[in-house]
A and B are shown apart, each in its own frame.
Chain A
Amino acid sequence: MNLYQKRKVPFELFDVNILKANDARLLEISQTMGLALNLNEMKTIKDYFSKLGRNPTDVELQTLGQTWSEHCYHKTFKGTIVTEKGKIESLFKTYIAKVTKELNLSWCISVFEDNAGIIEFDNGYGIAVKVETHNHPSAIEPFGGAATGVGGVIRDVLGVWADPIACMDVLGFGPLDYDYERLPPGVKHPKYIFRGVVAGIGCYGNNMGIPTVNGAIYFDESYTGNVIVYCGCVGLLPLDKFAKNVKPTNIIVLAGGKTGRDGIHGVTFASAELSEKSEEVSRPAVQIANPIEEEKLKRVLIKIRDCGLGSGVTDLGGGGLSSAVGEMAHRFGLGAIVELDKVPLKYSGLAPWEIYISESQERMLLAVSEKNLRQVLAIFAEEDVEATAIGKFTENHQLKLTYQGVKVAQLDIDFMFQPPKIEKKAKHKKPTLSEPSFPEPKNLTTPLQKILSSPNVASKEQVIRTYDHEVKGNTTLKPLQSQHAGPNDAAVIKPLDNSWKGLVISCGMTPAYGKIDSYWMAASAIDEAVRNNIAVGGRRIALLDNFTWGNPEKPERLGALVEACRACYEVAKGLETPFISGKDSLYNESPLGPVTPTLLITAVGIIPDVRKTVSMELKTAGDPVYILGQTGKELGGSEYYRLLGFIGKTVPKVKTNLAKRTFEALTGTIDSGLVRACHDISEGGLAVAAAEMAFSSDFGLELCLKDVPRTNDVGRNDFVLFSESNSRFLVEVSKQHRRRFEELMKNCNYAQIGIVTDDPFLKIYGLNEEKLVSAELAALRKRWQSGLGGA
């Protein structure tokens, strides 16, 4: 049987004979055409066309393949999950969106419904935020993958009419010293990927003039075969200019770069595991970046927004035109007609289906009323940006595509957006782990030095300097603090010239705990992101969730995902921090296995007056230093255990009521101007936080562990020093305000444990006041700065 019947037209168009295809043939079609649809989905398509009494064209099948891909439709998060404890209808609604719905906060303006989440800022302005993953493309082509990841998330922000003002990038790599001999075929060396990804991110943000202000880099064995690249962007928009009101007869304008064969099947590629053949098969799925094109596009879009000439806008990302046109029509209850031969091409010879699903970069789609069209096209021309009317929106709910006058596709929009629900099985399985038993080392200076130079804790200065974090001149708290380039907990931006209000951007990610317990991994990521924000003076915090997970077809992977989602609901609800946007990247598996369950939480807060911002380095000799929060024997997944070769079993928990109390009290003391320096306690525990605060300044620090508030099971100096218990801070309080500080903290766990000195040393005394650590700050700083080894 001939499955593909070429149409007698002067271009490439096939009818696909699915009406006569049996199950095996249906799967063969899905496979051959790169649709990545399963049998049930193929059968649904067959039924649809049986009713129409005709076979689909290749354009129609490809359109459905894109629209129904995991990447575009998030089948796992929207589908049914069968667990041992019963069915969950949509992880997204049950856990993530539920937080926001129940908190019902007036400052959440648009959540989960657009390209980016929007929250209120100041003076009629809103803040749009989006974070995306670009893992798969970056594994194949690190520079292009990372650069287009940044470009894509910036377009998401442009897609809600916002002006991008800052970027954030969180990365995960395999160990940079990974043995070449151990690399399986098709997997590139972490060092190669690291260099490419960092260069790609810098290239895009720098060239577009958007400061990269926040981020993190993690190293983990499990990221060797599957690099993690999270790209985030924050934008600013006048809320009264937020035009999303697409009407029938509105013209569809495609603007920006030309369309080529780069980025064909990017979304289906992203919805499958990486294999030895990925490079060969999926290289065309990685797009080519041209940041200057996007910079120009940005200027035009902002101008069109300010002139009120557009009725709708969206970006072209995964799925290209097929997603952008379909989603916009669907959202406004419309249909659309597109003339594919009007799309400007990089070179001739593209088949209609390729034009429709290509993911070529730097393209945006606008809906413009007929009367505004000329003016809109003129603004594009002024800025040297190509823009073309390629079709229009219609009243009926039909998608109609033509090429050279020939109809190449006609689909019901409603059908396109009602893919068969997926049901997946989840099984929760806790790994069998044990708590290590070992004697307490006498000398704790050496482990501290080693942890400071371990890749996850060490300074990321060499990377951060390659990103322009100052452009636009609004970064008031920078990623690198002062002359010793201390690691600030969050970035603060002052986006409006006539307001002192600041935007506080931070993140949290705790992949090491993911190996032990995905629930507490997610809980810890939320706590870390929020406390980083609080530490510099942020509040009214909104969250973004970005999962990077293994193959959800495997029940135990999905079981861990369910647990993490449950934590998202419980912890975010407890801290009263709503989710406003998120994205999942599943199928992150390679011949080396799955990635460690990873959740990036991005936190976006505000500070009423940026002049009250607190940085992390010590400020004045003689000031008392306090620890806030409770230290527990929670060293599972800690840097200390890792150093000793253990994983452990007990990961840090989050007690949301205690955490919230500490956070609110700390915010009060910052607002009252009592806090001179504050640093969150995370990887490496109290010891690392103390060392960082000291060597980022010109002062010394003396601490005694005796009074550290702790649970009864913590009886050892090394545990107090290196436990990574959540919701803790180390705070320098100005000497004259000591009493007021203690008064404001009285309902929280806190204790004064040290004093800022003039002596450039870090000295730590133990539970019995014995000397544990004594190290020269310059030496500690050097250790910390050399951790990435000039990679």
Chain B
Amino acid sequence: MKKDEVRVCILRVGGTNCDAETKRAFSDLGVNAEIVHFNQLLKKRNLFDYHGLVFPGGFSYGDYVRAGVIWAKSVAAKIGADLEKFVEKERPILGICNGFQVLIEAGLLPAFDGVSEYPEAALAPNIPPGYNCRWVYLKRENNGKCVFTRNMPKNRVIKIPVAHSEGRFLFPKEKENEYLKRLCDNDQVVFQYCHSDGTLAVGEYPANPNGAFNDIAGICNPQGTVFGLMPHPERAFYGWQLPDWTKKGTVPAFGDGKLIFESVVEYITKKF
């Protein structure tokens, strides 16, 4: 389909707050992006009007209890079946920051054997603790399955900001190795925190800003169509958003975040 036929749903609830800039990123690429309140979606039940779905950043329902969990439970209870169908049809779902937390809590990621009833991983409180807003480097690890990174070569290093207090990717201790192996075997590791030269952070702060297991910053499901990451690509879309653009004589037009949005838009236009 053509770009202007693509419809992306940016879902929000009370406390979601990165919806506008996420919409801007998609709109800039010429696709139709719509911010839809979860209440509205429930009333209309029109999830399949959209070719892509985004859970943006923010503090859904205040992130009381645990980050992302309230919205995840609500999503699972109210549109769980539709979402499974959405995934089956290989329509892409993106979770950014709080959206990633929702996808994990809702069992849409890592989803080793399809959507899981209970979370198989966690995004735990940062180590060192506390909210952290900073630019980091990510290395693209995926071999090509993830539909959100096809426009960037493997091992490409991108620069992107994080801003969260609960982003430490974790597996249950006793299954750590087994799950990591499955993640790697399935080609589900999309981004790892690294240094500017591309060498992995190996847990070293601040290159790895939250103590994430194996430097994991973003993963996809085994099909590569559901993708969640802690950093904010919508904040690295334009060149003037970069933290050091004033160093150069001219402002670059775009930042690395654009590649993620471009990849998924291209996937949708080719696939549907």
Interface residues of A (CB under 8 A from B): 202, 206-209, 290-292, 295-296, 382-384, 464-478, 480-483, 494, 497, 610-611, 613-615, 617, 619
Contact = CB atoms under 8 A, between A and B. Distances in A.
A209 B133 contact: no
B176 interface: no
Contact of B243 (A206, A209, A296, A482): A482
B59 A382 contact: no
Contacts of B168: none
A536 B21 CA distance: 25
B246 A471 contact: no
Contacts of B20: 472
Given A382-B39, A470-B235, A473-B24, A465 B132 contact: yes
Interface string B146-161: 0000000000000001
B24 A497 contact: yes
B86 interface: no
**A-side interface mostly:** loop
Contacts of A494: 240
Given A209-B58, A383-B37, A614-B246, A465 B17 contact: no
Given A473-B21, A615-B246, A465 B133 contact: yes
B14 A384 contact: yes
Nearest to A212: B133
A26 B247 CA distance: 67
Contacts of A481: 243-244, 246
A696 to B, nearest CB: 11
B234 interface: yes
Nearest to B163: A468
B62 A470 contact: no
Contacts, number: 102
Contacts of A480: 243
Nearest to B240: A476
A291 B15 CA distance: 8
Given A295-B15, A473-B234, A611-B240, A207 B59 contact: yes
A211 to B, nearest CB: 9
A206 B17 CA distance: 9
B199 interface: no
A84 B39 CA distance: 66
Contacts of A469: 133
B21 A207 contact: no
Contact of A473 (B59, B135, B235, B246): B235
B246 A383 contact: no
Q: Which of the listed residues A209, A290, A472 has the most CB atoms from chain B within 10 Å of its own CB?
A: A209
B182 interface: no
B39 A483 contact: no
A383 B132 CA distance: 29
A615 B39 CA distance: 44
A171 B197 CA distance: 38
B30 interface: no
A35 to B, nearest CB: 36
Nearest to B24: A497
Interface string B242-260: 0111110011000000000
B61 interface: yes
7 contacts: A209-B17, A384-B39, A470-B163, A473-B24, A474-B241, A476-B240, A482-B244
B237 interface: yes
Given A384-B39, A473-B237, 11 more contacts: A206-B59, A206-B163, A207-B17, A207-B59, A207-B63, A209-B58, A209-B59, A465-B131, A468-B163, A469-B133, A470-B161
A209 B18 contact: yes
A296 B235 contact: no
B240 A292 contact: no
B95 to A, nearest CB: 17
B78 interface: no
- 4 smallest A-B Cβ distances: which pairs? A209-B17, A473-B21, A615-B246, A292-B62
A295 B18 CA distance: 12
Contacts of A465: 131-134
Interface residues of B, number: 38
A9 B234 CA distance: 59
Nearest to B38: A384
Contacts of B39: 382, 384
Contacts of B58: 209
Contacts of B62: 207, 290-292
Interface string B100-144: 000000000000000000000000000000111111000000000
B232 interface: yes
B15 A292 contact: yes
A756 to B, nearest CB: 13
Nearest to B241: A473
Nearest to A210: B17
A207 B135 CA distance: 20
A207 B241 CA distance: 21
Interface in B150-185: 161, 163
B132 A471 contact: no
Contacts of B61: 292
Contact of A292 (B14, B57, B135, B238): B14
Given A382-B37, A473-B24, A473-B241, A466 B234 contact: no
B131 A471 contact: no
Nearest to A609: B251
A382 B61 CA distance: 15
B163 A471 contact: yes
Nearest to A462: B130
A263 B137 CA distance: 45
Contact of B244 (A206, A295, A483, A614): A483
Nearest to B257: A473
Nearest to A479: B133
A384 B14 CA distance: 8
B67 to A, nearest CB: 12
B74 interface: no
B133 A468 contact: yes
Interface string B37-81: 101100000000000000001110111000000000000000000
Contacts of B237: 473
A468 B37 contact: no
Interface in B12-31: 14-15, 17-18, 20-21, 24
Q: Which of the listed residues A384, A468, A481 has the most CB atoms from chain B within 10 Å of its own CB?
A: A468
B134 to A, nearest CB: 6
A494 B235 CA distance: 13
B14 A383 contact: yes
Contacts of A471: 17-18, 21, 57, 163, 235
Nearest to B57: A471
Contacts of B21: 471-474
Nearest to B39: A382
B39 to A, nearest CB: 7
A476 B14 CA distance: 27
A617 B63 CA distance: 38
A611 B59 contact: no
Interface in B211-267: 232, 234-235, 237-238, 240-241, 243-247, 250-251
Contacts of B241: 470, 473-476
A464 B247 CA distance: 21
B206 to A, nearest CB: 9
B14 A470 contact: no
Nearest to B196: A483
A477 B18 contact: no
A207 B15 contact: yes
A619 B248 CA distance: 8
Contacts of B18: 209, 471, 473
A674 to B, nearest CB: 12
Q: Which of the listed residues B37, B62, B245, B246 has the most CB atoms from chain A within 10 Å of its own CB?
A: B246
A79 B134 CA distance: 48
Q: Which of the listed residues B14, B18, B133, B241 has the most CB atoms from chain A within 10 Å of its own CB?
A: B133
A567 to B, nearest CB: 34
B131 A466 contact: yes
